[in-house]
Amino acid sequence: MKDANEILKAKGLRTTASRSGVLEAFRAHHHALSHSDLEKRLGKAFDRVTLYRTLNTFLEKDIIHKVLDDEGSAKYALCQHSDGDHHHNHVHFKCRVCTTSECLTEVSIPGIKLPEGYTSASANLLIEGVCIRCYGKE
């Protein structure tokens, strides 16, 4: 996988401590992170406002995408392939034991037959259950 610097360069963004830090945090975790998850992980290295702006910039540049969640708070995860609108048609899995969310990139969403007159542009599936790491712990 590309390193933080390469990702930023490819998107025409400057390399800064906060951006690298956020990217590394995403790369170090297989599951989706919320704004507050990131704040905890990154400590007080930089301002909360910078984190808001960093996340928005990354969303615009398709470096990260939003992960759907039952609960309120938005979570984010790295986009795996940085081309096209791949980031639609994701399957996200949320474990009810450890409460983490992850993208199941290898799982694809089956074709859904919509009612007459409806057309689909993208689909996001959120599955809740128990992940492999928590199997048996329930």
Partner DNA sequence: GTTTATGCAAATTCTTTGCAATACT
Partner DNA sequence: AGTATTGCAAAGAATTTGCATAAAC
Task: Give the interface with DNA as residue ranges (CB under 7 A).
Answer: 8, 13-19, 35-36, 45-50, 52-54, 56-57, 72-74
Cβ proximity to a copy of itself, 22 vs 67, nearer residue:
67
Q: What is the sign of the dihedral through the CA atoms of 19, 61, 63 and 130? A: positive
Classify burial at 33, counting beta carbons within 10 Å of its beta carbon; exposed 0-12, middle 13-18, buried 19 or more.
buried
Site for a copy of itself, rule CB under 8 A = 66, 68-70, 72, 74, 88, 91, 93, 96, 104, 106-107, 109-110, 112-132, 135
User: How many C-alpha atoms does 30 have within 13 Å on its Cβ side?
Assistant: 13
Neighbours of 32 (CB within 10 A): 25
Q: Least distance (Å) from DNA to the CB of residue 22? A: 9
Q: Least distance (Å) from a copy of itself to the CB of residue 20? A: 26
Q: Least distance (Å) from DNA to the CB of residue 12? A: 8
